[in-house]
Chain A
């Protein structure tokens, strides 16, 4: 290392140390405070009532029955309640297919009588093919459907259909546990026509 190189190196180091070491120094105060809270993620559930009251025995003098069915979103979040049907395998699916059904939403159970006219939003089919009774409900809210069943001439005599109305509540990809309500449709030995 030549003398000139040593000199340059010394000058460089002096500059570096002086500049680097002469900056001002200060202490920064800190203080803090906290706040706590919590959130709850919702859970889906469904409830059904009134199905058992739909059990009936059709006869020549009792060919139509009207009964309310209450579907409840018992979740703590908004959800869509929707029904599907099942006719148990040990019962008469032929009878279920021979009973015409019309259902429409009403304001409450008291608004569903044998003389109530079919309202808006009705769906129709048979107890084997009835479209889903679907309603989007707020947490804990319920909807009442007025269900009118009418037996047709094609119904087999002395038959019993065990119908289950299966209900779930959904929100997006979430689905509640299944609940159901069941009832029996019976046809008398005599002709219903």
Chain B
């Protein structure tokens, strides 16, 4: 009796099976990786229940900054400085990372360029316990007045926390006489950014 030829060759069946294992492996890897990354799985079952009425309030991020005390009561000579203080308070409900920077400066009555004047004045900032502790030479973050920027997170104020900033403006000891008589007005801006949860 003659044999009937088969329609399913062994070679084609083997080719289809090569997709199964790698594909399954890839899916397993993807699922496991996703589980590790997200840290949880989700069940589709759910139920509902009512709670008593409640109020959800959003937090606040606010600060108050007092005016700087007068710093032009003493005139600057080469190598000398003058100090002033301001207070900052976190009046919001979340901790804030603080950044202090000059956002405006104006030079008046100068016999030279504004840049020449600003290039001879250094601003120093430190935190002190009280205004009485603010004195020349106390140190702290230091930079030219025109480029002063502590960067984010200079300090962290918890909700309700506050501090006294001691600002020292110093004229370089080798400042040229051309800067004498100049007046520099400047603005310090304190920015509080919510500390990342």
Contacts and interface: CB of A to CB of B under 8 A. Distances in A.
The answer to whether A and B come from one shared complex is yes
Interface string B20-50: 0010011001100110011000000000000
Nearest to B170: A39
Contacts, number: 159
Interface residues of B, number: 66
By secondary structure, the A interface counts as mixed
A12 B102 CA distance: 47
A156 to B, nearest CB: 42
Interface string B94-110: 10100000011000000
Interface stretch (A2-10, A123-131, A184-192): A2-10
Nearest to B165: A35
Contacts of B174: 173
A41 B186 contact: no
Contact of A19 (B33, B180, B188): B33
A107 interface: no
Given A15-B29, A30-B61, A37 B71 contact: yes
Nearest to B65: A33
Contacts of A33: 63-65, 88, 189-190
Given A29-B61, A33-B63, A43-B75, 11 more contacts: A11-B29, A28-B193, A35-B67, A36-B188, A37-B84, A37-B185, A40-B75, A41-B117, A139-B75, A173-B174, A173-B177
14 contacts: A4-B22, A14-B30, A18-B37, A19-B33, A28-B193, A31-B92, A32-B192, A36-B186, A38-B72, A38-B186, A41-B175, A41-B181, A42-B180, A44-B180
- Please list the 6 inter-chain residue pairs (A to B) with the smallest Cβ-Cβ separation, ordered nearest first: A33-B65, A42-B75, A29-B61, A37-B68, A77-B77, A22-B37
